Amino acid sequence: MAVRVFLAAENFFRHLRAGLWVVGLVLAGAEAQVVPAVMTPSSAREEIAALRTEIARHDALYHRQAAPEISDGDYDALKRKLREWEQTFPEVAREVPVVAEVGDDRSGLFKTYRHRERMMSLEKAYTEAELRAFAARVAKATGRREVAFVVEPKFDGLAVSVTFEQGRLVRAVTRGNGVEGDDVTGHVLAITGLLRTLRVPEPGAGADVMPGVIEVRGEVYVPFAEFQRVNAEREAAGEVRFANPRNLAAGTLRQLDPAEVTRRGLAVVFYGIGACEPITAVPTTQRGLHGKIRAWGLPGVGEVWPGVGADALWRAVQAVEQARAGFAFPTDGAVVKVDELKWQRELGVGESAPRWAVAYKFAPERAETRLRAITLQVGRTGVLTPVAELEPVALAGSKVARATLHNRDEIARRDLRVGDFVYVEKAGEIIPALVGVNRARRPVEAVAFVFPTACPACGTALVQRTGEVAVRCPGAACPAQLRRRIEHFASKAGVDIEGLGPVMVEALVERGVVKELADLYRLRREDVAALGKNVSKSAERVLAAIETSKRAELARVLYGLGIPQVGAVAAKELARECGSLAAVVALGDAAAPAGASSAVRAAAAYFAEPRNRAVVAELVAVGLRPTVVDVEVGGRALAGKTFVLTGTLPTLSRAQATAKIEAAGGKVTGSVSARTDYVVAGTEAGVKREQARTLKVAVIDEAELLRMIAGK
């Protein structure tokens, strides 16, 4: 009898603990649903099945489509909730079918390849207590009072395993399901910071032992500078911005054209190994492994933080969090590893993660504010982008008053209503993103947003193409699209018409003076003067700039035309390949040949459309004569040299420095590699300067660069 009473009481409190945990989740989460405080096996079966289905859906969105709908924190909360119910009702959990393997990033677009050694994910820790519990488990398992740990920044990208045989890169594979992944060798080879052959280390203890076969584990990511550049180009082109660097990295690796990897500035970092033959080819500690990775000439982790014992470990994790503001790469946490590889092997692995490592996730800075309104922006390609207009709130050191909502489906999925209290985070530590709704504070006067069926700028019925989430205006005469096209064409990266800003463009379009791009070159002084005092006072300067732009560089003209998938870098490639505007337009006469670059293919598709050819014909008719820059004109002082820019230069902007280098025959890339000749470093130079020193690449300043250009 006493035993039955004890078991009944234990069962009650077990249910109560689970129920209280769920109540806590409901109170803490942004969009968690209310569930019963005490669950029966029958309701637990429904809850477990629903959670597994929901997690599988989010896994597919995150790993296979690079289009997550919820934040990492909300996703991890779902997994913790599922684990709690599975532990509370183990018999029920075994009866409920598993929907899909968790964390499978295989896309179905590539051949797959089996890892020599299973590639695992990491367990997560969110609090100091959880981190100390991990340290205690390791200490107990090893029988040591204090264990030496190494703490590394947790790069936020896509995990890859790169295999070298006899020192030569033979294969690159994504994590996949841990057993096999997508073979993305061609894409990874396009990363400029990656050697194809391991460098033989300098003589030393064990340095002469080169692995016959080794799987080097790491992360493909997008540095912040490249992320901002790519998004700026997409925004100027009227395309949807990437939500964060991780989405950009994952999405690019799924592009069929490896050239996109270089064009979008992807980088890679290595921090671990899988299979290795012989094992004596690697050091005996994790810190030694980092040094060996760099000695092989591979991009490695720039700095790690050691800690012996739980107290030092916690201080090291805090140090990484404080240092992350200065990182040039995206990170969402710190990875803690046992330093000695011997103990790593002794501790072994669990069902899905090693027992010798854990990822401590930094809590994202989140602010709560009111959604004042939802406005719509019409891009130059007609895509409508909804924007959340917020009551200004301080977040990550700046005031945030607007946040992108991406598309119509995002509004419906979150059930956003004007007047709601919403949660905002800095996505990828850069872009403000709305991540949740506090429905507990929803005011009675909150109004559901109704997405229009007609363009707010011209009244044309909106359309949604098959397979797209974007809603767009197909109106050829839409004034909003025309304004964006003119702004893009006249931008600094375009034909650079100084003084032709948004205010003047809007006035010209509104008055009907400019109805197409070619009308810019038909403008008279009286047309500009008639716009009003504030606009017309700069008429002479603007008209002179318009006249000068007739001889803009071909690459600038091509960029200004807004050819889809042709940004500033691709426009330069296209100009070099074709040599004239007529040759580029002629690409539309036939399908692009096999093996053509993505820029050529994009131009061929664009100029296959008669209306796009007509736009260029009109521009040529009014006097547009693009020039092809011959590097001989600017001298050959930097011919054949590759440069990487980092930090803030004293007098030159990044764009100005790039233009000077290219005019002198040099080339500018986004990542440091063994093929880099010089790194030009300014103030606050980050990891690229350290990579240069590791690879023994010369580091120079702006003054030295200018002397080289002058041939001194």
Annotated catalytic residues are: 154
Residue 147 CA to residue 43 CA, distance in Å, equals 43
Cα 440 to chain centroid distance, Å, stands at 33
Distance CA 375, CA 167 (A): 55
Quick one: how far is CA 465 from the chain centroid? 25
The Cα–Cα gap between 287 and 657 comes to 37
Question: Do 236 and 493 contact (CB within 8 A), yes or no?
Answer: yes
Q: What is the DSSP letter of 413?
A: H
What is the rounded distance in angstroms from the CA atom of residue 117 to the CA atom of residue 286?
Answer: 18
Q: What is the residue-wise DSSP string for 641-674?
A: -EEEEESB-SS--HHHHHHHHHHTT-EEESS--T
**Cα–Cα dist 81/89, whole Å:** 12
| Contact (Cβ atoms closer than 8 angstroms) between residue 205 and residue 282 | no
Distance CA 419, CA 407 (A): 19
Q: What residues contact 90, with CB distance under 8 A and at least 6 apart?
A: none
DSSP 8-class letter at 540: H
Look up residue 265 and give its two tokens.
């500035």
User: Is 225 strand, coil or helix?
Assistant: helix
Q: Which long-range contacts (CB under 8 A, 24 or more apart) does 18-23 make?
A: 18/84, 18/85, 18/88, 21/81, 21/84, 22/81, 22/84
**How many helices (DSSP H) and strands (DSSP E) are in the chain?**
26, 22
Burial of 210 (0-12, 13-18, 19+ CB in 10 A): middle
Give the distance, in angstroms, between the CA of residue 306 and the centroid of all CA atoms in the same chain.
29
> 549 and 486 in contact (C-beta within 8 Å)?
no
Six token digits for residue 118: 């299973």
Distance CA 517, CA 546 (A): 11
User: From CA 600, how far away is CA 608, in angstroms rounded?
Assistant: 12
- Please, what is the angle between helix 502-510 and helix 479-490, to 10°? 140
DSSP 35: -
